Chain A
């Protein structure tokens, strides 16, 4: 078995064994379906929804991606601004930390009242949940730039803007991507919260509505779907990092 193959087969085998034990236990101990559905029950709960499952996944994905994009558009420039300009940093950093300290779940219903029950509110909630890790990662990357590189840029006659674009931001790429990896998983949580409080579609809405009807296998199937979406998005960010910014990944052993 090649090492690459091991990396896939071992966790998959473990996972399948786990599912098997779970299935066996719920069958053997006759656990009621509304307490803990078995894997097969969950699978049926999902397939019963059919296309509805897919269209709602699409809705949630749309919310996640647009909200995440907004968070990048806000978080990255803000991270740069906060780390490059001392005055700006002193003015807004404490406010942003305060803003981040507010539990989004607590203010989500308030945001619905203020902004109404449409997409805008959901996007605001997603953006608020995930821009902070992106901003902080960008700022630490910008500040991490080796002083020799900055000296080089300065002797070459670079303006502050040129310095940021040609030295600081490229150096920060590794940091920014670790922020994006955290951000995208948090964005999934944000989207679900947004759909809990304000939606008539999406996976978060399906979870609340099916739970209200005691359709626990369906609700669980939606949760599984959310987990899959989250993993795929994480991998997508990784893939973009590797594909377009390969130089920023230190020698990847074994790949």
Chain B
């Protein structure tokens, strides 16, 4: 109170002026509520030889509720590291981060993760795998949890597979199960590290559309790491492009393709404009000669 009053007395003009006229901040910032904030976050690994490896340097990113943000960049630029920080698997060596305003975490009910590989536990059937986060957090899964797990399996098209063992499922089905598992405790945030990377093109397309549909229904905040530029454009509200070592935020692109999106969205001219911009960010603009041939 005191500081606000004194600030107002020193610069009386600035405070009432700001919200009225200029849209100084980008459009989403002013309307929405931040749910993830990374501020000047850096991670340095000590290698065996004793020299330091800067995996992430001065990384700043704010993500808003219900948004889908993609993280793209060359291999080894620190995308997974960002996700591991947010998942609580990696401590930042410099800077700071906030999730939902705080730092306490309650397992998958707060932040859930989908890895590149399905990572199902081979000794549990599909249903029990989906229930695993609930078991860890509450000690046991009750009837409600089971019903929810079955509903989620139906959502990803696996209702008939509930009692199978993971090895009886195809790779795509396993990844679907792991997506269902990530949603079991209704997390606020979904972290996905190249979730479709190991899949064939057809399954991949299928799961991308599934993800859009799941997002429509559940309105989760999703942070997605991907190597596919078209996947990033198709799925995201914003695309964060990272530069190679040391990993930094290079560009932040708002994708204004109307929703709901689907296979048709990829045919739009602006889809290609966005894709080209990301490509240019990563590889540098191509020379005229390259383009002519």
* Residues of chain B contacted by A153 (CB below 8 angstroms): 136
Main secondary structure of the interface of A (DSSP, over half): helix
A151 at interface (Cβ–Cβ under 8 A)? yes
Binding-face segment, B8-16, B116-124, B199-207, B241-249: B116-124
* Interface residue from B89, B106, B121, B123 paired with A157 (Cβ < 8 Å): B106
Cross-chain contact B119 with A148 (CB below 8 angstroms): yes
* Residues of chain A contacted by B88 (CB below 8 angstroms): 154-155
Measured CB to CB, the closest approach of chain B to A246, in angstroms, equals 9
Binding-face segment, B26-34, B107-115, B141-149, B154-162: B107-115
Interface hits, A151-195 → B, CB 8 Å:
151-158, 162, 166-167, 170, 173
B87 at interface (Cβ–Cβ under 8 A)? yes
A170–B119 CA distance with the chains assembled, in angstroms: 14
Measured CB to CB, the closest approach of chain B to A133, in angstroms, equals 23
Interface string of B237-280 (1 = CB under 8 A from A): 00000000000000000000000000000000000000000000
* Interface residue from A148, A154, A156, A173 paired with B132 (Cβ < 8 Å): A156
B133 at interface (Cβ–Cβ under 8 A)? yes
A146–B112 CA distance with the chains assembled, in angstroms: 19
* Residues of chain A contacted by B115 (CB below 8 angstroms): 148, 151-152
A248 at interface (Cβ–Cβ under 8 A)? yes
Cross-chain contact B108 with A167 (CB below 8 angstroms): no
A142–B81 CA distance with the chains assembled, in angstroms: 25
A54 at interface (Cβ–Cβ under 8 A)? no
Cross-chain contact B119 with A166 (CB below 8 angstroms): no
Cross-chain contact B89 with A166 (CB below 8 angstroms): no
Residue among B105, B112, B119, B136 with the highest chain A CB neighbour number at 10 A: B136
* Interface residue from B106, B121, B136 paired with A158 (Cβ < 8 Å): B136
A151–B87 CA distance with the chains assembled, in angstroms: 9
B53 at interface (Cβ–Cβ under 8 A)? no
Measured CB to CB, the closest approach of chain A to B133, in angstroms, equals 4
Cross-chain contact B135 with A166 (CB below 8 angstroms): yes
Report if A155-B123 is in contact (Cβ < 8 Å); known contacts: A148-B115, A162-B136: no
* Residues of chain A contacted by B137 (CB below 8 angstroms): 156-157
A97 at interface (Cβ–Cβ under 8 A)? no
Cross-chain contact B108 with A154 (CB below 8 angstroms): no
B282 at interface (Cβ–Cβ under 8 A)? no
A82–B183 CA distance with the chains assembled, in angstroms: 36
A247 at interface (Cβ–Cβ under 8 A)? yes
Measured CB to CB, the closest approach of chain B to A158, in angstroms, equals 5
A149 at interface (Cβ–Cβ under 8 A)? yes
B229 at interface (Cβ–Cβ under 8 A)? no
Cross-chain contact B89 with A156 (CB below 8 angstroms): no
Cross-chain contact A173 with B123 (CB below 8 angstroms): yes
Residue in B closest to A157 when the chains form the complex, CB atoms: B107
A17–B282 CA distance with the chains assembled, in angstroms: 74
* Residues of chain B contacted by A166 (CB below 8 angstroms): 121, 132, 135-136
Cross-chain contact B89 with A155 (CB below 8 angstroms): yes
A218–B288 CA distance with the chains assembled, in angstroms: 96
A173–B124 CA distance with the chains assembled, in angstroms: 14
Measured CB to CB, the closest approach of chain B to A211, in angstroms, equals 49
A155–B111 CA distance with the chains assembled, in angstroms: 8
Cross-chain contact A156 with B136 (CB below 8 angstroms): yes
Interface hits, B63-116 → A, CB 8 Å:
84, 87-89, 105-108, 111-113, 115
B165 at interface (Cβ–Cβ under 8 A)? yes
Report if A151-B135 is in contact (Cβ < 8 Å); known contacts: A170-B121, A247-B122: no
Cross-chain contact A167 with B121 (CB below 8 angstroms): yes
* Residues of chain B contacted by A156 (CB below 8 angstroms): 107-108, 132-133, 136-137
Interface string of A11-48 (1 = CB under 8 A from B): 00000000000000000000000000000000000000
A248–B106 CA distance with the chains assembled, in angstroms: 31
Residue in A closest to B106 when the chains form the complex, CB atoms: A157
Residue in A closest to B107 when the chains form the complex, CB atoms: A157
Interface hits, B198-229 → A, CB 8 Å:
none
A155–B110 CA distance with the chains assembled, in angstroms: 10
Measured CB to CB, the closest approach of chain A to B207, in angstroms, equals 19
* Residues of chain B contacted by A154 (CB below 8 angstroms): 88-89
Report if A149-B136 is in contact (Cβ < 8 Å); known contacts: A155-B108, A157-B108: no
A157–B123 CA distance with the chains assembled, in angstroms: 20
A162–B139 CA distance with the chains assembled, in angstroms: 9
Q: List 4 additional A-B contacts (Cβ < 8 Å) besides A148-B115, A152-B113, A157-B107.
A: A154-B88, A170-B121, A170-B123, A245-B123
Which 4 pairs of residues, A with B, have the shortest CB-CB distance? A157-B107, A156-B136, A156-B133, A148-B119
A residues near B (Cβ < 8 Å) are 146, 148-149, 151-158, 162, 166-167, 170, 173, 245, 247-248
Could you jot down 20 A-B contacts, CB within 8 Å?
A146-B119, A149-B121, A151-B84, A151-B87, A151-B119, A152-B119, A155-B89, A155-B108, A155-B111, A156-B108, A156-B137, A157-B105, A157-B107, A157-B137, A166-B121, A170-B121, A170-B123, A173-B123, A247-B122, A248-B123
